[in-house]
Amino acid sequence: MREAPARTSEDLRRTLARIDGRGYPAYKEIAGAYDFGRFVLRIDHVQGDPFASPSRLRIVMEPGRMNLPAWAAATPLRRVATADWLIRRFDRAIAAVTGGGARRGSGKSGLIAIDRPGQEVLPRTACVVAEGRVEVRFFAGLPAAGRRVLGKQAMEMLCGDIPQLVERALVLRPGDEADLQRHVNTVEDQAALREALAGLGLVAFVGDGAILPRESGVSDRPLRGPNVVPFAAPPSLAVEIDTPHRGRVRGMGIPRGVTLIVGGGYHGKSTLLRALARGVYDHIPGDGRELVVTDPTAVKIRAEDGRRIEQVDISPFIRNLPFG
């Protein structure tokens, strides 16, 4: 159900005009909920200083006002995927509306930001899709000159930029539903692959055509270019798994037990291991690892650098040590 705030967007405008030029703590007066018609803006926390952590805000909407199809929230998995899709749209809309982070005064004045997701699709508090309700939670730096309220600039941000963000990111237009469907289908296919592993005696699956290399050592985005080699399963480990949207998918199945990966330098051993380690998570369309899934209970273990070991038999690993 829609919340029933006591104030409207016009009340917010009047309050900002009244406190213009006053000390920054006057912003505390705008905390609360405001009805903008299509959505409700909730100002949950007002920062005490322009240099402090930004204020915390929420946009609350009914799915019908977003043109959000009912199927997008029909299951818990779809709700997570839909929320992830909305967060990414909101993040892109911020860059378009604010010109990439334009400031409006001192400190963090004018900043609008949302928790930016990586390549994985995960439950996040930045957006919650629930029964009859969608919330988008973000940060905003309320404008100030020194430590004085800039009411006009705050009005432009709260009553101008935020409604634009809603229209760009949260209201679906023709063609948007197909993109959302692709996003949700990709996540559902990964979940189906992961659920099929145990019944096939597998701990992981790497689909044919997967792009495992990353852009760089500090980037999780896929490597692109004519020299990128898509993954192809060796015949000895090839299996096929049915998915609800892609249909039957062929790839390499890694069986339960001990699997040894060998090869020369720069042949992709670590790249494959990193992809398998991240396979416990779903990935967005276009990541390259949409068909790489791992048993959800899997964990990555590694040796601790510099750890002292004594009185342990390591002969199964090393037999001939130099200098005796």
Instruction: Tell me the C-alpha distance between 23 and 141, whole Å.
Output: 15
Biggest distance spanned by C-alpha atoms of the chain: 84
Pick from 290, 187, 298, 189: which is nearest to 231 by CA?
A: 290
pLDDT at position 5, please?
53
3-state secondary structure 20-75: CCCEHHHHHHHCEEEECCCCEEEEEECCCCCCCCCEEEEEEECHHHHCCCHHHHCC
Its pTM stands at 0.90
Tens of pLDDT along 6-17? 699 999 999 999
| Weakly modelled stretches of the chain, pLDDT under 50 | 1
Per-residue pLDDT tens for 192-218? 999 999 999 999 999 999 999 999 989
Which residues fall within 8 angstroms of residue 132, CB to CB, at 6 or more apart?
A: 1, 62, 63
Pairing of strands 144-145, 219-222: unpaired
Give pLDDT, residue 206: 99
Amino acid at 132: G
Check: CB of residue 140 under 8 Å from CB of residue 57: yes
- Expressed in angstroms, the distance from the first to the final Cα of the chain is 76
Give CA–CA dist 255/200, Å, rounded.
8
Q: What is the pLDDT of residue 265?
A: 83
Alpha-carbon distances of 142 from 4, 17, 35, 199, 299, rounded to whole Å: 24, 14, 19, 54, 42
- Give the Cα separation of 99 and 258 in Å (integer): 52
Rounded CA-CA distance 310/304 in Å is: 14
- How far apart CA 233 and CA 34 sit, in angstroms, is 56
Nearest to 169 by CA among 71, 102, 97, 109: 97
| Helical axes 176-196 vs 76-98, angle rounded to 10° | 140
Report yes or no: 253 and 292 within 8 Å, Cβ to Cβ: no
Neighbours of 161 (CB within 10 A): 19
- 133-140 vs 112-113, strand pairing mode: antiparallel
Of the candidates 98, 181, 173, the residue with the CA atom closest to the CA atom of residue 140: 98
| Cα gap 145→154, rounded to integer Å | 11
